[in-house]
């Protein structure tokens, strides 16, 4: 689940998504800018090879409190991975009221 509040007014285009609908025309005007912003995507891969891609973050876990252990790494980092543990990581993000912090976080940075 992406928390894209910071994208207000900015189009996001997914390229090469496997289940993408047919390309459609989303407006009648001409483009006024050809600028492209590269945005960081996050990918979660389960032990059974299921993949989940998102913009910004992925929240996993059950509605109750539990600790999840996982590994973080970059494809182009020579296979270096870092073990992590968190009280929440991946899974369906709960619905949240407008204006609330993503994934059940309080507004404080780093609080989980």
| Length, in residues, of the chain | 112
Cα distance between residue 50 and residue 90, in whole Å: 12
Q: Give the pLDDT of residue 106.
A: 38
User: pLDDT tens digits for 92-111?
Assistant: 444 555 554 444 443 333 33
The structure's pTM equals 0.32
Of 51, 33, 41, nearest in space to 14 by CA: 41
């Amino acid at each position: 689940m992406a928390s894209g509040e910071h994208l207000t007014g900015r189009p996001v285009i997914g390229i090469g998504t496997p289940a993408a609908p047919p390309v459609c025309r989303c407006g009648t005007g001409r483009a006024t800018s050809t600028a492209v912003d590269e945005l960081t995507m996050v990918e979660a891969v389960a032990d059974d090879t299921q993949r989940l891609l998102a913009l910004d973050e992925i929240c996993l876990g059950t509605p109750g409190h539990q600790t999840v252990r996982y590994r973080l790494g970059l494809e182009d980092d020579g296979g270096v991975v870092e073990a992590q543990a968190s009280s929440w990581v991946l899974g369906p993000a709960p619905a949240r009221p407008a204006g609330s912090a993503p994934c059940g976080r309080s507004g404080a940075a780093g609080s989980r």
